[in-house]
Structure formats: structure tokens, C-alpha cells
Amino acid sequence: MVERTSETTGATEPGAAGQSELQNSASAAPGLRRNPERHRGRLKIFMGYAAGVGKTYSMLEEGHVLKAQGVDVVIGYFEPHGRKDTIAKSEGLEIVPRKEVDYRGSVFEEMDTAAIVARHPQVCLVDEFPHTNIPGCNREKRWQDVQVLLEEGVDVLTTMNIQHLESLNDQVWHISGVRVRETIPDWVVQQADEVVMTDVTPRALLHRLQRGVVYGKEKADQAMQNFFREQTLVALRELALRQAAYEVEHRLGDAGAASPAQQPLSGRLHKILVLITEDPETAMLIRRARRVSDFLSAECFAVAVQPAGDLSGLSQKEREAFEKHLNFARNLHIETRIIEGDDVARALVDFAHRNEITQIFLAQPLESKWVLPLISRNLVKRVVELAKDVQIVIVSRRMR
Amino acid sequence: MPLEKRRKTPEEFLRECQAEEAAATQQGHLKIILGYASGVGKTHRLLDEARRRRERGQDVIVGAMQPKVPSEVEPILRKLEVIPLMSIDGGVAVDVNAIVRRHPMVCFIDGLAYDNPPGARNPTRWQDVTDILNAGIKVVASINIQYVAELAPQIEALTGKTVTQTVPIHFIQSASEIEIVDAPLVEPIERSPAGAFDARNRQQRLSKLREMTLVLAADVVDQQLNAYLEEHGIHQQFGAHERILVCITPRSNLAEMLETARTVAERFHAELTVAYVDQPNLSPADRAALDQRLEEARRAGARIEILHGESPSAAILDFANTHGVTQLFVGHSQRSGLRSRVWGNPVDALIARSRGMDIRVFPQ
């Protein structure tokens, strides 16, 4: 069997054949541990569950506290949204002017990362961590700009809502009916030194909305019909509180002493393996596997099985789907392989046994289409039958 | 899971009646501000809310303040009407009579966890607050997680301090609203000197308290969410709280299932239930094996459910769907002769028909 490592470019390169595949992966799949480098800036995230809970306000307030202590603080990017309280709070803090970016004849404003690096403050305030930059910027995402600031040794305070966390994307859709496009990989949040919950009750938030504090009247009414329904807000708030609790526990492990988060599951290290296919449900499967791995402190790997050991035998459409899913997994710091085999179940289980995998994650077989279900249902069945000492987790769809 | 309205089961109906009754007896609206340590800014949050309500024209009073008031809140406090604590035998207590007579719209209580001196109206302050609520006054009260009675053993193990004046958790859970103050202590981004062992220990203790606070708040919010959905006849499970259902048979490899379940439950702060689908004509040996497994599960802290139904998979899925289960644990070889010929392999059926959950199949 020939197994090949694909690099982050997404291209499949011929690799060293037949090596024990996963032995060196611990260092290659970081994601969990905080960057130990001394001069890296520290990151603090103000986490909320909706617009208007007060994340930006809290961040600015902390900026003032720091400034009063003699710390060199600047605002790198701040989105006023026309909110009076927030705008007033920004006064007295130095603002690094935004950069103008031309895109298709219009001018957009983005954070000027280079100017902030040149100014080199001790602490930089950056609003809206999950923001996607206009095409033509150096980096696609604001969180990538923040990485640059951190590497330059600048401490960053930033804001985000729980619904932008990648591994919760399906659940957020299930709760709110909104498919959030601007997501942040979980490892980026895990690398933060601190995640603080900005909390307000949904009732208080709805009052703010009604009073026109958050949006203008018309937009507020519209928002309350859609995203800002009470049950949606309550559920998102619960998600945020639980995530914040997890982030705290996760960092307890980092601080040194043995904490539950660092002890391996069941007294042994768990390794999770995800099967990548062209099936669109694969994205959901990867998110869930990533989340479970993180919570169990398990390593996570993903494989695709192809007769040729690469994607060459596929139609362009199929190949694109595979590549998209492999890239998606890698962006979440999951190491990927394409393994050779005609029999997917057999190849998957053999790989699992050879690499001491303890859990295999598969997507639930689809019911409605009429060719696929037989194949995929058989796949699940055969993997369950073939796998010895391996738990099989079948992830079913989070539906609306 | 689609939104659906269906007929209520008798249990649901009963629960609704009880909820209505509870709402009727407790007229006032309680909001709790929960913090994880002293100094995180609970008093500031409380008084700031009082100030904002007053500015919006609401009739607010302060019914209790902590003995020591942080200097930054003094200017806010000076602008608010305060009904002072009354002295009884050298101790102090909330002046419930004066507050009820004054009958403001909202009463603010900074610090819930106080025992009253002997001779007071109630033994504890939280009972005073109940009286104020019952008089139809809204109360906003602050409390530190360390004073929640049921968490006392955990807190003591963590801090080494014994707490004597506490508030029962059901009082916290009965609040209409709960809000946490998750602000950092002292310096926002603390650059602790290298090798400061004590500082690190302290940080760890505080982190643990923070985690407990967040989880308690999440649990209260979860209850409120379920109550809201029930009240509005919405049968949708949101899965914000992970719930594990372990399905066992007399032959289950319970040890591995339970071990994994406990770890997953701990990491996800999940609820753990072990269920068994009742089967008639169980052999005495199987019955004994089953009883032993259920006892083991009970000892592990799981809730036990005996399910009934012709088809095991249907009984399991029905329970899972109505109870918001997000992770279902089953053993692989759950077949039993004739039944599986009639109903198909239950595991296959679970895999095919489940929605919104993970099915974890254990080798047996």
C-alpha cells in the first residue's frame, strides 16, 4: 500500500512510501498548545453570542484601563455601528487610520496591519476578529492579520461571537437557521491566552434592540423577526457559556499542573480518524470530529481512500470535492492522507489498526438518493464489522 | 429536527402545570448576577444596572450593600435611594418590611449569601429576598459562586476555605434571569513574573472557579431554554447542552462504554443517562447480568431509564429525540433472534433514523 502526504497547498505529492504514517504527527498537528515563543504577543478574545452584548465596549473599557496604567495602547480597527456609548468609549484612545482598498471601482476600508506594525504599540485593539478582508488585501482574514501582529510581539485584544467558531457551524445553523460564512478555525481561538465571556441576558439584549441601541429601528425589527428570537439567543448564549468554560479548562491544562484536560481518555491516548469523501456531509463530519478530538484531547487524522492512492482517477468535479474537503481538514489542523485501496472499508480499517486509531468517524449514510445509500450504508456496516477494538462514531445530520 | 407541534404527554402536561404554579406563587422577577470571585466587579455591574434603570425612569432602591464598597462605585451609590440594613442584636439584616412598604419597582441586593442574626424575620437573606419577590417586587441580586451551598465541598477542596453562609442552588436556578461577570481580576493582561508559583496556583484556582461559574450559568440557561420551548409548544432540540445516552443490554461491554461515557460527559459537561429497553422473558442469568450493569451505571453517577416498546430502536430514538440526546452509545452485537428478523438490526436502524446526534458503536 502506498500512502502519500499532502501538504497544505492541497496538491498531492508523491511521498515516502509505506512509512509508518502517523508517528511524527504530534508536532505536525499542533492546534492545541499555545505558542511557547517568548516574544509572541498575547491574545485576548472577548466572546459574545450576538451583536449588541457589549463586546466592543468591554474591549475599549479594558483599553482605557491599560492606558491609565501607562501601557501604550492603540485601536487598530474599531467598528462603531453608530452606537453612541461605544463611540464615546473610543474617545481618548489613539486610532491607527484604516487603509483604503479599491475593489471593483469602490473604496473599502480595512485594518492597516503594516501601519500598526510600524507604530508597534504594546497593545492593539482589533474589533470583529472573524471579518473577511476585501480581495486585494495581503491576507484573506482579519484573524490572519492578527497573527501578524502577535508574531511582531504586539498584544491584541479582539472581539467575536460564538457563532463564528468553525466547529459549531452546523449547530449554529441548526439553532438559528443562519449558515455563518465567516468562521474562525478552533485552533486560532485555542491559541488565545484568554477568552472572556461578555455576558448579558437575552431579555436585556432584546430591550437594547427595542430601544434602538444596537441597530436602527427598521433593522432592529427585522433582526427580532429573524436572528434575535428569544429562543435562538438563549441557545446561542448557552453555547457561548459552555465554550467559555471549555476554553478555561483547556488553559488550566496549559498552566502546568495535571488537569483533567491533559489526562488521556480512558488512561490511553485516543486517536480519531475521519473518512473523507466527496459527499457534501464531509464538512459537517470534519467539524464534529475536530470538536470531539479537541474536547477529548485526542489527535485527529483524516484519510481519503482511492484505488490509485491519489485523486487522478476521479472526474474533475469529484476531485474538486475531495480537494476541498482535504483542504478544509488541513485548515483545521487535521493531518490528511490519501491511501490506496479498492475496498474503502477494508483500507480504512487496516489503516486504523496499523496506526492505533481508537475511534473512526463516518458520516451518516444518506437515505434519499438511491444509489449512494446502499453503498454508504454498506460501508458503515462493513467498517463496524471489520473494526476490532475501535469505536465507530456515525455523525448524523444536524437538521433544520 | 423539524419544528413540530404534537400532543402533550401527561408528564409534559404535569410539568407545565407545575411551572405555572411556581410562576404564580413567585410573583416578582429575580435576576442574579453571578461572579467567580470577589473583586471581579459584581457590585459595579449591579449598581450600574440600578443607575441605568433609574435613568430610564424606573423606581429603584438599594436594599443591601456589602460592608465595604469599592471606591469607584461610590459616586453611583450616592445617586441612588438606599434602604439601610437594620441592626438586630449586633447583627444586620435586610429591612424587608421597609422595602415592601416602600414598594419600588426594582430592589437591588448586593450580596445574597448572608445569614441573619437570631431574631430576624428569616434565618437567611435569600429567604428575605423570596419575601420581597412574593410582594411583587423585582429583585436584582449578586452572589459569588463560592457561596453556592451544593458546590461547597468542591470549593473547599479547591480553596481550602470552609464557607458557612451559603445559598441553595435551587434558589439560583429559580431566577428568571442570570448573568455572569466574567471580567478578569486586577490587571487585564497579567504579566506574571516567571517562577511565581503562588501566583500560578492562585490563577489556577481562579480558573477553576471561573469554569464552575460558566457551567452553572449554562445549566440555568439550559433550564430556562427548555422551559421557554415547553411554554411555547416548540419541540425542537438545540443541542447546546451535550447529552449522552448509553444503551445497554444484559451482554453489553459496559466497562468500556461507561468509561468513555464518563470521560466524554466530564469534558463536555454533559448529562449522562444509561437506558435499557425492557424485554419480556429475560432468563434469570440475563436478568442478573442486567441488574449488575444497571447498578454499576448508577454508581458511576448516571441516571437510569427503563424504556418500553415493541421495537428497541424506536423506543431509544423516541427517548433520545424528546430528551435532547446528542451522543448515543450502543454496543455492536445488539441482536436478539426473532426480534432482529422482525425489526432489523437495531443498530442499523439507529444509524439510519437518527437525526442531530452521533451514534457511537462499541465493539463487543
Cβ of A380 within 8 Å of Cβ of B358? The answer is no
Confidence grade of residue B352 (pLDDT, cut at 50, 70, 90): confident
Pick B182's closest partner by Cβ from A123, A203, A244: A244
Cα A277-A143-A171 angle, rounded to 5 deg: 45
Q: Rounded to whole angstroms, what are the CA distances from B20 to A237, B13, B16, B233?
A: 25, 11, 6, 14
Query: What is the predicted pLDDT for the residue at A61?
Result: 92
Question: Helix (H, G, I), strand (E, B), or coil: what is residue A361?
Answer: strand
Looking at chain B, the domain(s) classified CATH 3.40.50.300 span 26-231
Q: Are B287 and B293 in contact (CB under 8 A)?
A: no
Residue with cell 448576577: B33
**Residue A392 near chain B (CB below 8 Å):** yes
Mean of pLDDT values over A214-235: 81
Q: Which of A289-293, A312-316, A363-367, B81-85 has the lowest mean pLDDT?
A: A363-367
For helices B284-299 and B254-268, give the axis angle rounded to 10 degrees. Answer: 20
Rounded CA-CA distance A340/B147 in Å is 59
The edge-to-edge listing of strands for the beta sheet with B271-277 is A3-5, A335-340, A299-306, A271-275, A359-363, A391-395, B358-362, B327-331, B243-248, B271-277, B303-307
Going by C-alpha positions, the residue among B206, B308, B316, B329 that lies closest to residue B257 is B329
Could you tell me the three cell numbers for A394? 456515525
Rounded CA-CA distance A126/B27 in Å is 44
* Residue numbers of B between 129 and 148 with CB closer than 8 Å to A: none
Q: Are A387 and A355 in contact (CB under 8 A)?
A: no
Confidence grade of residue B20 (pLDDT, cut at 50, 70, 90): low
CB count in 10 Å sphere of residue A312: 10
Q: How far is A171 from chain B (nearest CA, A)?
A: 7
Does domain B243-362 fall under CATH 1.10.3470.10? My reply is no
Question: Helix (H, G, I), strand (E, B), or coil: what is residue A56?
Answer: helix
Residue B282 is given by DSSP the state -
Q: How many CB pairs under 8 A join A and B?
A: 178
Domains of chain A (ranges plus CATH)? Answer: 3-30+264-395 (3.40.50.620), 43-254 (3.40.50.300)
Rounded CA-CA distance A49/A190 in Å is 18
Rounded CA-CA distance A250/B19 in Å is 37
Burial class (CB in 10 A: 0-12, 13-18, 19+), B16: middle
Rounded CA-CA distance B18/B186 in Å is 44
In the predicted structure, residue B342 carries a pLDDT above the cut 60: no
Looking at the predicted complex, does its ipTM rise above 0.90? no
Rounded CA-CA distance B112/B114 in Å is 6
Confidence grade of residue A19 (pLDDT, cut at 50, 70, 90): very low
Q: Are B117 and B132 in contact (CB under 8 A)?
A: no
**Residue A161 near chain B (CB below 8 Å):** no
In the predicted structure, residue A35 carries a pLDDT above the cut 80: no
DSSP alpha helix (H) spans, A135-214: 142-151, 169-176, 186-190, 202-210
Confidence grade of residue A85 (pLDDT, cut at 50, 70, 90): confident
Could you tell me the three cell numbers for A329? 481538514
Q: Are B327 and B298 in contact (CB under 8 A)?
A: no
Written as one string, the DSSP assignment of B67-136 is: SS--GGGHHHHHTS-B-PPEEETTEEE--HHHHHHH--SEEEEE----BPPTTSSSSBHHHHHHHHHHTT
**Residue A42 near chain B (CB below 8 Å):** yes
Pick B180's closest partner by Cβ from A157, A199, A400: A199
pLDDT in tens, A146-164: 999 999 999 999 999 999 9
Residue B9 is given by DSSP the state P
In the predicted structure, residue A332 carries a pLDDT above the cut 60: yes
Query: What is the predicted pLDDT for the residue at B253?
Result: 85
Query: What is the predicted pLDDT for the residue at A374?
Result: 54
Mean of pLDDT values over B11-37: 69
Rounded CA-CA distance B276/B306 in Å is 5
pLDDT in tens, B61-75: 999 998 888 888 899
pLDDT in tens, B209-230: 999 999 999 999 998 888 888 8
Question: Helix (H, G, I), strand (E, B), or coil: what is residue A105?
Answer: coil
Rounded CA-CA distance A395/A126 in Å is 36
Query: What is the predicted pLDDT for the residue at B189?
Result: 39
CATH class for the region spanning B26-231: alpha beta
Query: What is the predicted pLDDT for the residue at A13?
Result: 34
Query: What is the predicted pLDDT for the residue at B144?
Result: 94
Distance separating the N- and C-terminal Cα atoms of chain B: 30
Burial class (CB in 10 A: 0-12, 13-18, 19+), B195: exposed
Rounded CA-CA distance B216/B85 in Å is 30
CB count in 10 Å sphere of residue A370: 8
More confident residue, A282 or A26: A282
Pick B225's closest partner by Cβ from A194, A234, A266: A234
Pick A295's closest partner by Cβ from B180, B184, B268: B268
More confident residue, B10 or A221: A221
* Residue numbers of A between 73 and 102 with CB closer than 8 Å to B: none
- Residue A169: CA count within 13 A, CB half-sphere: 19
Going by C-alpha positions, the residue among A269, A281, A290 that lies closest to residue A358 is A269
